Chain A
Amino acid sequence: MRALFFRDLALALRAGGGFGLGLAFFLIVVVLVPFSVGPQSALLTQIAPGVLWLGALLACLLSLDRLLAVDWEDGALDLLATSPLPLEGIVAVKAAAHWVTTGLPLVLAAPVLGVLLNLAPSGYGVLVLSLALGTPALSMIGAFGAALTVGIKRGGLLLSLLVLPLYVPTLIFGAEAARRAAEGLDSGTPLLLLAGITLAVLAAMPFAAGAVLRVNLR
């Protein structure tokens, strides 16, 4: 299990692994927002938490189709399936590796990009906290989507269509927590609900993803 985790990490970090692409995408989305809505800092302050959450979500989505597809194409997934580790575990480990290479950098970069969007000072702590709580769920749900579409050629667009509606609760609670904190309100409730969703997803989703992957490997 640990070996698989470090293998995925190493593959992602090496040249051609696509590490940092998500981060760059996040940056570009955030830079494009002032171009599209105008540079007034009051407006940017108001929409900053939502834009940062949306950008992180899209950046997470971007790298999902590589999550299982690469191993599927070269047959590594078949080998992994015959290993003693159950498929549920494999999917969970892959999602964890995806989070470390995609979600974690996003969480760390969010405050810097918050400066670009003129985020209110009270919002930084909760923004980072909400992203840290929410992005693991995004990776795990994404792993389910990737497992669903792994056998389909050019499944990338379909993957977005399937995964984005599943992201709705996470996005709502995460962005709501960040928004409330930025406006100086109490953000405890949405944070707790967000944490609840993430925990439930981490507990239940590997089984759904494992079942789906088993069907696809049949």
Chain B
Amino acid sequence: MSILNNLINGISLGSVYAIIALGYTMVYGIAKMLNFAHGDVIMVGAYVCFFATGQFGLPPLAGVLLAMVVCTVLGMVIERLAYKPLRQSASLAVLITAIGVSYFLQNSALLLWKSDPKVFTSVVGTGSVKLFGGELTITHVAIVTVLACVVIMLALTWFTGRTKMGKAMRACSEDKAAAQLMGIDVDRTISMTFAIGSALAAIAGVLLCSTYPSLMPTTGSLPGIKAFTAAVFGGIGSIPGAMLGGILLGIIEIFAKAFNTNISDAVVFAVLIVVLLVKPTGLLGKAVREKV
């Protein structure tokens, strides 16, 4: 039964990674940049929900919605102030800026909310479903997390494939200049991508802290890196790839932890290295052929 338990925990953790990875992969696909501040947006989302439900007594759902609104605005502001002026710059400059924004968010959180860990109250309670006479326990949080992940995946697939904004995003990811000449406002499309990615980050933050209730200014940092790994693992730029990468990474991590807690992260990254050696574009990534 412990294998099944681990599998369920792995899928649940992987779902959180997947939701975060979607933000990385969408922004990369469209703006062709790695937004390393994405992990810290998660942390901000979790804090907003924490204060909204804890101190202001809002119902959990309202707390999540408020976190999404705040993160959406935050994501768009970060893009507008930090990344947009660098649109024509070298990608290295944007990368360093993203790392800068990440530290800025962490330290602002430290200043505002102090370093002591807050105990996050799960938005779906602490109940669980017991199966097989109590041998298998599935927490409500795990169920909600996996469901949220599936719903988000389906909604995003539909959004990018079937709506005009989604199509504009795919057009921008293929050829920005051509999209612009067809009358698509690339700046607005990129801003929209950040908005969607950041709203998802808020959901991920709340779900993450509902499972692992200790909330600190650095809470988003490691899950952010792991989710980035998941996005690369699945093939960066690909939405199904981010999902697959996230869930596999979560499962691998939990099983490695069950085997030996100290080396779990090493195992995760070792798997990434092996996958990239065998398939450099990631599991579902498309090979980009250089034109000769």
Asked if chains A and B come from one complex, the reply is no
Q: Which residues of A contact B (CB under 8 A)?
A: none
Q: Which residues of B contact A (CB under 8 A)?
A: none
